[in-house]
Amino acid sequence: MNHLTPETVEELRDTDAITDETERLRTGMSIFKGAGLNEDVDIENDIQKCEKKQSIILEEKKNLTGEALENYKRGQRAEYVFRHAIQDFGWLADKVNMIIASQFDDYFRGIDSIAQIPVGKEGLEHIGFAMDFATSVEDIGKKLRQTFDSIDNGYTPTVKYFDSKHTGKKVDFRVPRIVIGAGSETLERLINYSKEILNKSGIAESCREAISNDVFQFVLFGEIIAQLGTFVNRLKSVVEQAKKTHRPDIEKRAYESLDIHEKAMQTVMKFAQDKKIDMSMIQKHIRGDSFAVKMAPALVALSHTSIDFK
């Protein structure tokens, strides 16, 4: 790395530390062996599949240079801050537990983390986030199309390997999948926070306050609400079309998926109400984030495509 500047070397070390933490906290697939939820041979096949995928990813990472390397570092550090901001700094609600998805769910199902949120005295509401801080409209369009492909056949995206101290192990756990994007101006701010969070000596109080009050939380609410609202309306259309075309299998799945998404929407709206966040505040800050502004047309365009059952 002699050709790299000292600043770049430091950034790469920070990125490696973030990657190490992510892998250490991931939901492990091997703990599901013998649990009676999946066939052990199926689990072993998934583990081997992920090992091959990871080898490809690591090889690609070695070859990153220039802008591609910068985008990789920015994405890793922004996602790291995003996860900690939700869990430790109350961006959505208090006592949110961010569970890092298994390699299988990350690599093959597009779910990086699951936000586990206590609701009431005993209930738990779960929202699945695909935490890819993409910097291109094409990337977020691709991820949203994947979600529409599932919804249009009545499916809710599923987490194959889920484990939590609150619920224990679950397989094929259904959660709404939310894609989050941020503009370059937001990414730069989040990246600056990552150095403080990585500081083993403790985060400065001024930075703690800055993260807790960062305006991106308003954008976050806006992106989640916009997507959930679009998905709810789409699922209602799927139910109606399934009735008309006599597809009871899809109708049943879509009803179940609709219930999951509506409950998630109710939960998020309750969080916004508790934080005294209204739609005018959300809209104001969304207009200030270049990426969030570009997400809306992608959602609108996809919501107007035809529903074609497979």
- Per DSSP, the chain holds a count of helices (H) and strands (E) of 11, 8
Place of tokens 């066939």: 39
Q: What range does the domain containing 246 cover?
A: 6-303
Instruction: Report the alpha-carbon distance of residue 307 to residue 300 in Å, rounded.
Output: 14
**For each of the chain's 310 residues, which pLDDT tens digit applies?**
444 444 554 555 678 888 888 899 999 999 999 999 999 999 999 999 999 999 999 999 889 888 888 878 877 888 888 888 998 899 998 878 889 999 999 999 988 888 887 766 665 556 666 666 665 666 788 889 989 999 999 999 889 999 988 778 888 888 899 888 777 778 788 888 887 887 766 778 888 889 999 999 999 999 999 999 999 999 999 999 999 999 999 999 999 999 999 988 998 998 999 999 999 999 999 888 888 888 888 899 999 999 999 8
φ and ψ of 191, to 5 deg: -60, -40
pTM of the predicted model, to two decimals? 0.88
For residue 310, being part of any structural domain is answered with no
For residue 1, being part of any structural domain is answered with no
For residue 179, being part of any structural domain is answered with yes
For residue 134, being part of any structural domain is answered with yes
For residue 309, being part of any structural domain is answered with no
DSSP calls for 96-145: -EEEEPPHHHHHHH---EEEEEEETTTEEEEEEEEEEEESSHHHHHHHHH
DSSP 8-class letter at 168: E
For residue 111, being part of any structural domain is answered with yes
